Amino acid sequence: MNKFNYTAISDDCVKCGKCKPVCTIFNINQDEATSPRGFIDLLGAYERDELELDQNAKDIFESCFLCTNCVEVCPNDLPTDMIIEQVRSDIAKKYGIAWYKRLFFFLLRHRKTMDMMSRMGWMFQTCALKLDKKKQSGLPRFSLPIVKKDRVLPFADMRSFLNKYPEKIFAKHKKVEENKKNKVAIFIGCMSNYTYTNTGDSLVKILKKLELDIMIPKKQLCCGAPAYFTGAFDTVDYLVKNNIEYFETWIDEVDAVIIPEATCSAMINQDWEHYLHDQPEWKERAAKISKKIFMATKWLDNNTDLKQLLANSKKTIDTTVTYHDPCHAKKMQGVWEEPRNLLKQNYVLTEMSDSNRCCGFGGVTMQTEKYEFSKAAGAPKAAMIRDTKAQVVSAECSACRMQITNSLHQADVDVQFKNPIELIAEALD
């Protein structure tokens, strides 16, 4: 097994401890081994063959939420999240991957099969779930080994976003701007494609209002984030390289690829290159693509007159909104002002006490085998949202949406979650 160079990063850690107070898992269990500097020390020992990758080490390395709080505060900018992602590949090779994860990753690789399964899920989901269409969540009617009865989950929509629209949608009254193609592509992300489809519908509505040509690339696959955070690098390799080859056939035709998902955009913008660190040719191709990848609110705020359009409408919506900053948005991509700039044109915006605190989603393993950690991390976020007295909590991330919706349910807090793209589209109506 070829090990990543963990020792170099371990040697650069000065043990200052700034990472500990902000670490999501350390705040739950107060164990030095699962603090960022603990992870780094153990990984250095693992590379030097001083630590066996046994079940205890596996549990430690799988307890990280990959929230990047430690990276944000580290004086040496140590990539703790990246080295955790790397060791999870070693874990997957040694221990294998649970059958339900392998099935999920198979579906991510095969879009048509996923479409069929989603359609079947839509037809039969009411047998297993009590649906709350307002909150776009479902409460299980009975407990299963992985899914407990008291936990709310997203549910499948009748038709996926990618199957709902044509590949090209042309503006009726196209604005011609010099040196611009006036055409954007949408990368939708799996959860907005199959469950939270109103996010994509709302984005199409906004782009039409801005009189932009829209391209919806039909052969796009999952960005690879769920598999990457789990260590299933064979699936990551397949998804990343197939997407790169497909993107290269059309990306020069558009001004930007906009994504209403923090995790997907961060994966394509940064983690594709992290994954391809030892494949220079593919890394260069990924870097070229990343120049055109943007979170939706960032591109809309900086490259269109949407903010002015919202302000000119003089429409005031009597709904108080609080905004949660997804880890993959503010910390990884520096996106936090843009959604607020757009929302505050028409909504009352109130800040929670710590909008930057991780909501506790943490990836597939955290949501299944280590759900109790995820549940514990979500409780403080639900309390913060409750204290704002807001009617809506918003974040540009479907993973946060799934986690926060469940955390609010657990805390009996009656607040609805909406993507900022949905709220903006409502303001334009």
pLDDT tens digits for range 321-373: 999 999 999 999 999 999 999 999 999 999 999 999 999 999 999 999 999 99
CB 287 within 8 A of CB 324: no
> Is the confidence at residue 188, as pLDDT, over 70?
yes
CB 415 within 8 A of CB 385: yes
Three-class secondary structure of residue 415 per DSSP: coil
Per-residue confidence (pLDDT) for residue 179, from 0 to 100: 67
pTM: 0.95
Per-residue confidence (pLDDT) for residue 172, from 0 to 100: 79
> Is the confidence at residue 173, as pLDDT, over 70?
no
> Is the confidence at residue 200, as pLDDT, over 80?
yes
Mean pLDDT on 86-110? 96
Q: Please give the C-alpha separations between residue 168 and each of 216, 226, 289, 385, in angstroms, as whole numbers.
A: 6, 28, 20, 39
Per-residue confidence (pLDDT) for residue 192, from 0 to 100: 98
Strand order in the sheet with 256-259: 168-169, 213-215, 183-186, 256-259, 293-295
Per-residue confidence (pLDDT) for residue 178, from 0 to 100: 62
Per-residue confidence (pLDDT) for residue 149, from 0 to 100: 83
Bridge-partner residues for 317, per DSSP?
347
> Is the confidence at residue 223, as pLDDT, over 80?
yes
Per-residue confidence (pLDDT) for residue 13, from 0 to 100: 93
Per-residue confidence (pLDDT) for residue 349, from 0 to 100: 97
The pLDDT confidence band at residue 429, using thresholds 50, 70 and 90, is confident
> Is the confidence at residue 1, as pLDDT, over 60?
no
Per-residue confidence (pLDDT) for residue 374, from 0 to 100: 97
CB 6 within 8 A of CB 39: no
The pLDDT confidence band at residue 145, using thresholds 50, 70 and 90, is confident
DSSP string for residues in 19-53:
TGGG-HHHHHH--GGGSHHHHHHHHHHHHTTSS--
Per-residue confidence (pLDDT) for residue 344, from 0 to 100: 97
> Is the confidence at residue 52, as pLDDT, over 90?
yes
What is the residue-averaged pLDDT of the chain? 95
- 54 vs 142: which has the higher pLDDT: 54
Token pair belonging to 270: 């940064």
> Is the confidence at residue 143, as pLDDT, over 90?
no
Per-residue confidence (pLDDT) for residue 4, from 0 to 100: 82
Per-residue confidence (pLDDT) for residue 175, from 0 to 100: 61
As a whole number of angstroms, the distance between CA 25 and CA 66 comes to 10
Per-residue confidence (pLDDT) for residue 261, from 0 to 100: 98
